Amino acid sequence: MKFKKIIALMLATLMMLSLVACGGGESTSDDSGSSEAEAVEPSADSDTEEVSSDAEEDSSATDGDIQIAYIVKALTDEFWEDMQAGAFAYAEEVGVEIDFQAPPKETDVEQQVNMVENAVVKGYDAIILSAADSKALIPAIITANEADIPVILVNDTIDMDELENSGGYVETYVGIDQYEAASLAGKHAAENIEDGKVAYLEGISGVQALQDRLDGFKDQVSDFEIVASQTANNDRNEGYNVTQNILSANPEVNVIWAVNAEMGQGAIQAIQQGGFENIAVYDFDAASDDIAAVQNGTLTGTVAQYPELQAEGAIQACLDILDGKELEAHTKTKAELITLDNVEEFIANKNN
Amino acid sequence: MATKKKINFGDKSSLIVLIALIILLGLLEPAFATVNNAINILQQVTVVAILALGVNIVIFTGGIDISVGAVVALSGIVLGKIVVDAGLPMFVGIVLSLLVALFCGVFNGVMISKFKLQPMIATLAMQSMARGLALTIAGGKTISGYPESFLYLGQGNVFGTKIPVQIVLMIALFIIFHFIMRYRKFGRYIYAIGGNEEASRLSGINVDRYKILAYSISGLMAGVTSLVLVAKLNSAQPVAGLEYEMDAIASCVIGGSSLLGGQGSVWGTFIGAIIIVIIRNGLNLMGISSNLQKFVIGLVILLAVLADSFRNRKKLQ
Amino acid sequence: MSKKSKEYLLEMNDITVRFPGVLALDKVHFDMYPGEVHALLGENGAGKSTIMKALAGVNRHYEGEIIWKGEPIKAESIVEQNERGISIIFQEMNLLPNLTVAENIFFGRHPTDSMGMVLWDKMNNDARELLDSIGTNIREDALIKDLTVGAMQMVEIAKALSFESDLVIMDEPTSALTNKETENLFEVIEKLKQRDVGIVYISHRLEEIDLLADRITILRDGKYILTEKKENLSREDLISNMVGREIDDFYPRVEVEVGDIALKVENLNQELNGLKDISFFARAGETTGFYGLMGAGRTELMRAIYGADHYDSGDVYIWGEKTNIKSCEDGKNKGIAFLTEDRKTQGLILDFSISENISITNIDALISNFKINLKEEKERNQELVSKLQVKTPSIQQKTLNLSGGNQQKVVICKWLNSDSNIFIFDEPTRGIDVGAKTEIYSIINSLKEEGNAVIVVTSELPELLGVSDHIYVMSNGRISGEFDNDTLATANQKSVMRYATKEY
């Protein structure tokens, strides 16, 4: 019995310590953020100089800074890494503090729900969310609504009708239009390939964005013959196996549309190793593997959705809302199809 | 003797299932029964089968190892970091990534044998630790760009033939393991420990040492699996190998290994792995949703375990 | 008789119980008056527990007549017998470790309300009352696993009382109790007697019998010997009636020239199992017998020497050399063979074939060119199996399917196959038919002749006296007596039993 108590005590202490540690980390990052912001953009402060000097004096205090919870689906691939980098860069630029969080993997929907709920309890000024599921996050968003914490969606949208029916709302959705972005690839395929026989690599089921990407492409190539449509659960090795299997049954396939980069890369490996030629592969995300593949011609096109721009847009949307502005339901950010024609340009821009 | 037939029934039943599946899929899908598809299947089975080979040793002792999927990811990332990011020679990367995998296995083994943790719990902890380390070290990024000579392991053919190198590696490993389990003291002791741990200890077998060895081998095989996977995909991802341990365990069980230990064979596990891959392959070829594949594989596991429990029940009578 | 039988609380007549191949009880009689303590005595295996298990409804495969409060009954199940007012406190505890004391006492009979919800307060209060009534301050909400063995025994008693029993069977209740706890128990027994509850008291401790019993019934080899008032029986009478029989020529002992001291133990202590200050030796060419009643610590001693359990202090010398055995592997490498008491759980790998079981102790000898020579394995093991006359169609047969005697022979084969020269046999003939027993004795003899040291741990007095050249008797974790060359002639069932019942 005693032993149990000791364990409980140790756990509690550990939790406290970790909280303190986290808190410490936040306040330091936010100190530097705030002082720099004030130094770089004094005009951003609408108050008088007196006040701003006051703020400088007690710059160790965190109140007065805008704190944003930035919750994404995972940090397991490059896209989210880039978004994180973009978010931190822009946050520093405009002088807000962001707390970037993600569950271990994209399918951990429940953990993401918990993160949003925790953020509401912690009382952030705004929550930026990239929803891991188009429906499961709705209750958590409503919780935030009730606490008057604005919610901005980024990159992944949710089922808006259901959100409305449940009495919730979001300020705006910042991101590309998944459907339109996917159409770019579809259009390219429709224009360049005759007599298309297409195989689709679907993503994890239940994610609206992935479904939109599938539909966006499909609707542009309505005269193509759909030879196969299988999910490979966004996984590279599964993408490889599924492609290999599809090609053995249907060697006539000449177009593959993979709704994420991992599956696209798996498909490329399977095609190369199977010795197939003249298959145009399109995928989504423009990860660095994709860019390399476009350069060497194994990937025909990849849709870039500029995660950095999305992060900037989302943070700016927070600031606008907190300033009392109204926003459009969809704050569109840039999407672009990267092919051999514009890949060098894309690399050059990215390196800047 | 009548009893002898019962003993071998398990292995035979998985073989019968395999043959039935091959005939069924061959009839339903013309693309199935082709040489190319056969090679595809063997290529797709390498990852699961090599992983299962290691896990199987642990299962023979009556234990379980659910950390292997995460260890695959970790050792792959270590390989990528060393070879691609740090630019060190391939050889160094391979040795170190295998050592990392081996270490994970040794750690599991020590926790289980010396500190008496339950295998499920110890390897669950390792699963989480290895996955966390893989994600942290990789920073969420995929690491690609390996020398051609290395990719040969996962993509090349044995020269002059159409036989992929990875298949040869897999079969060689299975032959070695078969030999060890049948003709070496190690194999005897592993089965003995699974059959009756206490009696084995009282017969003078150093049970702790052999258990640690079993988990170490499981870890090492996860490392080998990782090499094959990285070479096959030309990339190491921190999310690689997710839930692969389940495929590996399922292979063992379908192949006739009892989770109570002491029963099963190396070849049974090979057949089990092939059955899993063939179901996926066949349903893919027929264009049936992968959600249904999961259902079918679950069903096969269930049947295999039921067969196992019937065998045990007969034994008790 | 007819007048007397009305006063009986219980009468059991002609009770017979058969186990496969064994007649465990042969027309045994037992009776009880209300409010008496009736001691049931006998050697290990005499049938004491067997008859009580029949009475308590644990084993319903008995023949004979049970008359309870004047009515003939059939003991079909524990629950039914509990309801009739007969409860048993098991030798091996039957409590659920993760439940509370109160839950255990009322297990399966939780008081509930009309909705079927458990009335926890009522249950705890009732438990409290019961615990108070036997004068213990164990908390009713404590978990069983946090209690001492003695406290668990008290909970068992409280549980028995909760049935408001008229008859409580206590099977070796004090074997795990401290002196203080034993005193408590005796007070409880006194209280129960005053309430007219009858107590069947099974114990090896004759002092306790002196103190408690009103009447005594003695069983031997499954047979009824006598029932007497305590005053009419001296301790000598008790012992001679318990052991009774004469030694026959069943044991073909051979005399061999005695060799060096193979195993010497000095001042061995092990707190875990209460082994205290144990010193003994075993010589080559001799059979050293170890006798003791249940719980005396014989098996525990042997396990410690072999390396199966750790001991706290003491020295072990093998062939004159001081050794530090830390594991079974060490023990085996030092040349000790340990044939465990329980063949099925400790001796054999039941899924393995006979041949595989035999090889396990010496696989290295079969390895040539980096592999086990399966052909040689077969030949070697076949030879052993033939030599020991294991009855099996093939050495590839699983040991699971063998009879007890043949399983024991396989265990012996397994150890003959090792390079051992000190053989510890723990209960080598338990549960084995007479024919196989003789064969095992002759194996022991030939081991002796080959210059090995043999230690035989046994609970059977005739066996002890029949095979041993040198005898140690244990009681309460200590060596309580020894019969060496000079005194072996004085060893008989009575003298051994006197040491075995020595109190510490």
What's the whole-number mean pLDDT along residues C335-363?
92
Residues A228, A200 contacting (CB under 8 angstroms)? yes
How does pLDDT run across C280-312, given as a tens digit for each residue? 999 999 999 999 887 789 999 999 999 999 999
The answer to whether residue C71 neighbours chain B at the CB level (below 8 Å) is no
The answer to whether residue C308 neighbours chain B at the CB level (below 8 Å) is yes
Domain A178-304, what architecture?
3-Layer(aba) Sandwich (3.40)
Domain A65-175+307-332, what architecture?
3-Layer(aba) Sandwich (3.40)
- pLDDT above 90 coverage of chain C, percent: 45
CB pairs under 8 A between A and B: 98
pLDDT at B207 over 90: yes
pLDDT at C150 over 80: no
Residue A25 is predicted with a pLDDT of: 37
Q: Which residues of B touch C363 (CB under 8 A)?
A: 185, 188-189
Residue C235 is predicted with a pLDDT of: 79
Q: Does C294 fall in a domain?
A: yes
Domain of residue C325 covers 259-335+422-428+453-504
Which two structure tokens, joined as six digits, stand for B139? Answer: 């920073």
pLDDT at A22 over 70: no
Q: How many CA atoms lie within 13 A of B247 on its CB side?
A: 27
How does pLDDT run across C248-267, given as a tens digit for each residue? 556 777 888 899 999 999 99
- 126-185 in chain A: CB under 8 A from chain B: none
Q: Which residues of B touch A269 (CB under 8 A)?
A: 155, 232-234
CB atoms within 10 A of CB C321: 9
Tokens 């063949």, located at residue: C343
Residue A5 is predicted with a pLDDT of: 54
Question: Which range among B115-129, C60-74, C201-215, C355-369 shows the weakest confidence by mean pLDDT?
Answer: C201-215
Judgement on whether residues C327 and C348 belong to the same structural domain of the protein: no
Number of domains in chain C: 3
Which two structure tokens, joined as six digits, stand for B199? Answer: 């009696």
The answer to whether residue C364 neighbours chain B at the CB level (below 8 Å) is yes
CB atoms within 10 A of CB A143: 18
Q: Does C321 fall in a domain?
A: yes
Banded pLDDT at C446 (limits 50, 70, 90): very high
Q: Does C64 fall in a domain?
A: yes
The CATH number of the domain covering residues in B11-309: 1.10.3470
pLDDT at A214 over 80: yes
The answer to whether residue A77 neighbours chain B at the CB level (below 8 Å) is yes
Residues B29, B286 contacting (CB under 8 angstroms)? yes
Phi, psi of C461 (to 5 degrees): -60, -45
Chain B residue at shortest CA distance from C330: B204
Distance CA B16, CA B293 (A): 20
pLDDT at B229 over 70: yes
Residue C245 is predicted with a pLDDT of: 54
Q: Does C499 fall in a domain?
A: yes
Question: Which range among A322-326, B301-305, C34-38, C318-322 shows the weakest confidence by mean pLDDT?
Answer: B301-305
The answer to whether residue C488 neighbours chain B at the CB level (below 8 Å) is no
Amino acid at B91: F
Residue C249 is predicted with a pLDDT of: 53
Mutation choice for C interface testing from B4, B61, B201, B202 by most C CBs within 10 A: B202
How does pLDDT run across C178-210, given as a tens digit for each residue? 677 788 888 888 988 988 999 999 987 778 888
CATH code of the domain in which C219 resides: 3.40.50.300
Judgement on whether residues C322 and C374 belong to the same structural domain of the protein: no
Residue A48 is predicted with a pLDDT of: 37
How does pLDDT run across A60-83, given as a tens digit for each residue? 334 458 999 999 998 877 888 889
Judgement on whether residues C98 and C205 belong to the same structural domain of the protein: yes
Q: Does C299 fall in a domain?
A: yes
Longest dimension (CA), chain A: 76
What's the whole-number mean pLDDT along residues B223-249?
90
Q: Does C442 fall in a domain?
A: no
* Residue ranges covered by each domain of chain A: 65-175+307-332, 178-304
> Would you report the helix, strand and coil content of chain B in percent, each value rounded to 5?
75, 0, 20
Judgement on whether residues C33 and C8 belong to the same structural domain of the protein: yes
Judgement on whether residues C195 and C303 belong to the same structural domain of the protein: no
Q: How far is A163 from chain B (nearest CA, A)?
A: 27
Distance CA A289, CA A294 (A): 9
Residue B71 is predicted with a pLDDT of: 97
Judgement on whether residues C51 and C97 belong to the same structural domain of the protein: yes
Residue B250 is predicted with a pLDDT of: 93
- 262-291 in chain A: CB under 8 A from chain B: 262, 265-266, 269, 272-273, 287, 289
Q: Report the complex ipTM.
A: 0.87
- The chain-wide mean pLDDT, for chain A, equals 82
Q: Which of C162, C180, C150 is nearest to C123 (CA)?
A: C162
Residue B208 is predicted with a pLDDT of: 96
The answer to whether residue B88 neighbours chain A at the CB level (below 8 Å) is no
What's the whole-number mean pLDDT along residues C362-391?
90
Tokens 């060096």, located at residue: C260
Amino acid at B96: L
Judgement on whether residues C473 and C413 belong to the same structural domain of the protein: no
Domain endpoint, select from C419, C443, C471: C419
Banded pLDDT at B307 (limits 50, 70, 90): confident
pLDDT at C5 over 50: no
pTM of structure? 0.74
pLDDT at B154 over 50: yes
Q: In what order do the strands lie in the sheet with A97-101?
A: A97-101, A67-71, A126-129, A151-154, A172-175, A330-332
Residue B309 is predicted with a pLDDT of: 73
Residue B46 is predicted with a pLDDT of: 93
Q: Does C448 fall in a domain?
A: no
